[in-house]
Structure 1
């Protein structure tokens, strides 16, 4: 991925925030020259030294699971806030359209853990993350005996992040008046997540 310095996030915390807010990733592998992609919710973790890993789970009976057991290297692609920037919002109609976006691509090495404990940890951590702040939040424990019937159908994994690429293309040196009109246009079309991302980036 082209990661020009002007589009790199300011800090690792920006990457962590984006992935936490948009945990649904596309995990991509190659099998005999043919791509295989599976959408999965993933949680990013960092160790005391800043090393990154992803916690997740996959269906046990799945071609991609079988492939990753044999070939554990893959790419996880996270897409954050994004949207089309229309020149129709601008007083200066000579400006070109563009697309603003946040994306993080992680080169990963996947290791499965078939134990019941690892599966419960992966599922519980994901559910707790997604239910946090919800009224009457749900938990894995609410499933009761049904959990024991469903959990064996998945397998947990932890993926070590080998390399990371982040690109937050949230502007392109627009004049202040153009930026104000772009933000107003995005707000009018209900794209608040992108407005918030641009404002966090100081745009």
Structure 2
């Protein structure tokens, strides 16, 4: 990865995706585009690069039919972002900008209804963890088994990916400190500090 706004490593992109979790799955069909926000679990290779996403659609979602006919889709994750006005920076002539983080993945989606139970189990584990008192599907009783046929699991194999973390890496030390101070303790300011060379 190179370029001043590129993530430092594939692991940084995977960590970003895990932190955001809710991705926009975008498909194109004969009637145009469809987008569904979905929590997605990334799977990585030995180098830490995201190679696949695991998730599920509601079976009634019209996008399921689109994916069945045309498996190629785009998955987008947007992180914290904000307008950065010149009033925050003491440097004369400094122009406004927008700081943000974005990762996009071109994918091929395979619908796998036989993995419905696993998709829910992995998602619940990721969100609830193993701590005492964590919610489990067992608390739903018979309703869980009745719910499963109303979803369809999928795996989205990554064909191509790109990420841009525009987080003030090109700012002077003074301007960077002023921007972070003006933002306060926010997800964006934390991400900016983490990305600073």
Query: 1:97 deviation in Å?
Result: 1.5
Partner of 1:186: 183
Aligned residues: 196
Which ranges of structure 1 fall in alignment gaps of 5 or more residues?
none
Tell me how far 1:98 sits from its aligned partner: 1.1
**Structure 2 equivalent of residue 162 of structure 1:** 159
Note closer, same or farther for the CA distance 1:13–1:92 as it changes in structure 2 (3 Å cut). Answer: same
**Residues 54 and 155 in structure 2, CA contact (< 8 A), matched pair in contact too:** yes
1:145 aligns with: 142
CA contact (8 A) 2:4 2:170 kept: no
Shift of 1:90: 2.0
Could you tell me the TM-score, scaled by structure 1's length? 0.88
1:176 aligns with 2:173: yes
Displacement after TM superposition at 1:39 (Å): 1.0
Alignment CA distance shift 1:84-1:48 (3 Å): same
- After superposition, the C-alpha distances for 1:118-156 in whole angstroms (9 at most, x for unaligned) are 111111111211223877321222222110121211000
Structure 1 consecutive aligned stretches of length 4 or more whose deviation exceeds 4 Å: 48-51
Q: Does the residue aligned with 1:7 lie in a helix, a strand or coil?
A: coil
Task: Output one character per residue of 1:145-185: Cα deviation in whole Å (capped at 9) or x when no partner.
Answer: 11012121100001100011111111152221111110000
Identify the residue that residue 27 of structure 1 maps to in structure 2. 25
Distance in 2 between the 1:51 and 1:92 partners? Answer: 39
TM-score when scaled to structure 2?
0.91
Quote the offset at 1:77 in angstroms. 0.3
